[in-house]
């Protein structure tokens, strides 16, 4: 059955700082209809902080990170209660999964998360995923669940990612962009260059999410979540929003995990010979080809690999700590600092 991840932003589910129950009711009705058609829907929903603000009667969004984290813990319960309330109308259930980047960084936890979601879908329960804002301070400030939705789509083998926002899609100076086959610098520049009325602070992260999805063979649609029955309309093939087509070249699952899910703890700089060995001959990175090291990392951490001009070549999992790499860099030793199976070329 076709798997679809739908990501709902705070501006859609809580457009005025309060959860729009009319929207939730309509959205759940659409989800039930799609499930009857054999579609397996996984929801990534923001809105916990907005719920918390409403519950405590704050007049505006606080700036204190500790306060935001507390509001997220209060609001997450209220958010799930609202989704559960409208699912009960159809005698359906939902499940909550709160994730952090560490859950994707650790391969075992990553696979455990997939197993849990697989079982929920088997039980015909709607998985509702959110970042664990109570402990993930960075995620409150950046991303609004966009990157998470892309990583999740790859994790569960979804073929379509629908990102619902308060805009109709990606805009250029000429108007709405209907289709994007490759997200390059020109496309990325549109996120900050378009008229203010058509952009939000999260458009850059939405494009980054679409990049990750495309590299994983997943189609992404960025569309206006306030349009009635937007998700069923998109699935029917109606021309709505901006469609980002999947890449024709897809890396293996483990290499995608290294590229997208692992936090990069440092940087290794390499010479031209090492670059050629990695990219053209599928060889491991040896100590002799390393010219510099930045950051502090330990064996098993992921790092970015750059050439001497500072351009990213790829990333990989190291077999030595940063201290050890500094000692052996440039030396003619047959030591694999990054094994070829643990290296992936830059896909972004």
Question: According to the per-residue pLDDT averaged within each range, which of 13-17, 134-138, 163-167 is highest?
Answer: 163-167
> What is the pLDDT averaged over residues 167-178?
92
As a CATH number, domain 3-244 is 3.40.1160.10
Measured CA to CA, the distance from residue 148 to residue 117 in angstroms comes to 14
Measured CA to CA, the distance from residue 181 to residue 324 in angstroms comes to 42
In the prediction, which pLDDT does 1 show?
Answer: 53
> What is the pLDDT averaged over residues 197-221?
81
In the prediction, which pLDDT does 143 show?
Answer: 53
Higher pLDDT, 195 or 89: 89
pLDDT band at 137 (very low <50, low <70, confident <90, very high): low
The token pair that represents 246 in the structure block: 């999947």
140 closest CA partner among 41, 52, 19 = 52
pLDDT at 321 over 60: yes
Measured CA to CA, the distance from residue 320 to residue 300 in angstroms comes to 8
Measured CA to CA, the distance from residue 249 to residue 200 in angstroms comes to 31
> What is the pLDDT averaged over residues 119-134?
93
> What is the pLDDT averaged over residues 20-49?
96
In the prediction, which pLDDT does 106 show?
Answer: 86
Measured CA to CA, the distance from residue 203 to residue 193 in angstroms comes to 11
> What is the pLDDT averaged over residues 254-272?
91
Domain boundaries, the chain: 3-244, 263-345
How remote is the C-alpha of 292 from its chain's centroid? 30
Query: Count of alpha carbons within 13 Å of 222, Cβ hemisphere only?
Result: 32
In the prediction, which pLDDT does 200 show?
Answer: 36
Q: Is the distance from CB of 252 to CB of 347 less than 8 angstroms? A: no
To which residue do tokens 């966009």 refer? 146
Asked: is 263-345 a CATH 3.40.50.20 domain? The reply is: no
pLDDT at 327 over 90: yes
> What is this structure's pTM?
0.87
To which residue do tokens 């440092």 refer? 266
On average, the pLDDT of the chain sits at 90
Helices (H), the chain: 10-13, 21-36, 48-56, 65-88, 101-105, 107-122, 137-141, 146-156, 185-193, 203-215, 230-236, 253-256, 272-280, 322-328
271 closest CA partner among 320, 314, 321, 330 = 330
The CA-CA-CA angle for residues 166, 167, 172, to 5°, reads 160
pLDDT at 90 over 90: yes
To which residue do tokens 């939730």 refer? 24
pLDDT at 166 over 50: yes
Measured CA to CA, the distance from residue 187 to residue 309 in angstroms comes to 24
Alpha carbon separation from 25 to 17, 31, 36, 89 (Å, rounded): 18, 10, 17, 9
Q: Is the distance from CB of 208 to CB of 148 less than 8 angstroms? A: no
Q: Which residues are CB-contacts of 193 (< 8 A; sequence separation ≥ 6)?
A: 172, 173
Q: Residue 171, exposed/middle/buried by CB under 10 A (0-12, 13-18, 19+)?
A: buried
């Amino acid at each position: 059955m076709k798997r679809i991840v739908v990501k709902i932003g705070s501006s859609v589910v809580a457009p005025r700082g309060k959860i729009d129950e009319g929207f939730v009711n309509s959205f759940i009705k659409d989800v039930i209809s799609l499930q009857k058609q054999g579609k397996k829907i996984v929801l990534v929903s923001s809105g916990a902080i907005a719920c918390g603000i409403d519950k405590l009667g704050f007049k505006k969004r606080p700036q204190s990170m500790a306060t935001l984290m507390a509001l997220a813990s209060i609001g997450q319960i209220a958010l799930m209660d609202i989704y559960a309330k409208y699912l009960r109308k159809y005698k359906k259930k939902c499940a909550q999964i709160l994730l952090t980047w560490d859950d994707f960084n650790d391969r075992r936890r990553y696979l455990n998360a997939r197993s849990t979601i697989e079982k929920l879908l088997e039980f015909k329960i709607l998985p509702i995923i959110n970042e664990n804002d109570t402990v993930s301070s960075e995620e409150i400030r950046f991303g609004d669940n966009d990157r998470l939705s892309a990583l999740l789509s790859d994790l569960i083998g979804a073929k379509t990612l629908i990102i619902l926002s308060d805009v109709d899609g990606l805009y250029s100076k000429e108007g709405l962009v209907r289709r994007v086959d490759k997200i390059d610098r020109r496309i990325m520049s549109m996120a900050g260059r378009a008229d203010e009325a058509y952009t939000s602070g999260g458009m850059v992260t939405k494009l980054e999410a679409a990049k990750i999805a495309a590299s994983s063979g997943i189609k992404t649609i960025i569309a206006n979540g306030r349009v009635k029955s937007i998700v069923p309309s998109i699935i029917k093939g109606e021309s709505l929003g901006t469609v980002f087509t999947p890449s024709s070249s897809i890396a293996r699952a483990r290499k995608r995990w290294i590229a997208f899910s692992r936090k990069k703890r440092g940087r290794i700089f390499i010479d031209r010979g090492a670059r050629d060995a990695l990219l053209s001959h599928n060889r491991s990175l040896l100590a002799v080809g390393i010219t510099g090291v930045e950051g502090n990392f330990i064996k098993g951490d992921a790092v970015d690999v750059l050439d001497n001009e500072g351009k990213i070549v790829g990333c990989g999992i190291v077999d030595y700590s940063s201290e050890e790499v500094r000692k052996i860099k440039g030396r003619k030793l047959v030591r694999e600092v990054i094994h070829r199976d643990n290296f992936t070329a830059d896909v972004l």
